[in-house]
Amino acid sequence: MRDFRNYGRFLTHTARLMVGLPDYDLYVLHRRTHHPGEPVMTREEFFRERQESRYGAGDGRINRCC
């Protein structure tokens, strides 16, 4: 049963990356592991920052392949 849950998480993570939705929980884990003591964005801030980075909000540049 545990392997099934891990496989489900893997599929969910992969599907989100395929459609351009980065994993917030993975971001939080990275920040706490590699940058302890530094602030962590909220889920909303993280989503907004990723969207702006991908679609070039503000500077008019698009940072994607197509």
pLDDT (0 to 100) of residue 40: 97
Q: Is the dihedral of CA 61, 57, 41, 9 positive or negative?
A: negative
What pLDDT does 58 receive?
A: 63
Residue 4 lies in a domain: no
Which 3 state secondary structure label does DSSP give 20? Answer: coil
Cβ–Cβ < 8 Å for 18, 41: no
Identify whether 36 is part of a domain.
yes
Question: Is position 58 within any domain?
Answer: yes
Domains held by the chain: number: 1
Would residue 5 count as lying in a domain?
no
Q: Is there a domain that residue 59 lies in? A: yes
Position 57 scores a pLDDT of 64
Could you tell me which residue, 60 or 9, shows the higher pLDDT? 9
Judge whether 57 lies within some domain: yes
Establish if 65 belongs to a structural domain: yes
C-alpha distances out from residue 36 to 27, 45, 49, Å? 13, 19, 20
Specify the higher pLDDT residue, 65 or 30.
30
Alpha carbons 2 and 8: distance in angstroms, whole number: 10
Expressed as residue numbers, the domain containing 40 is 21-66
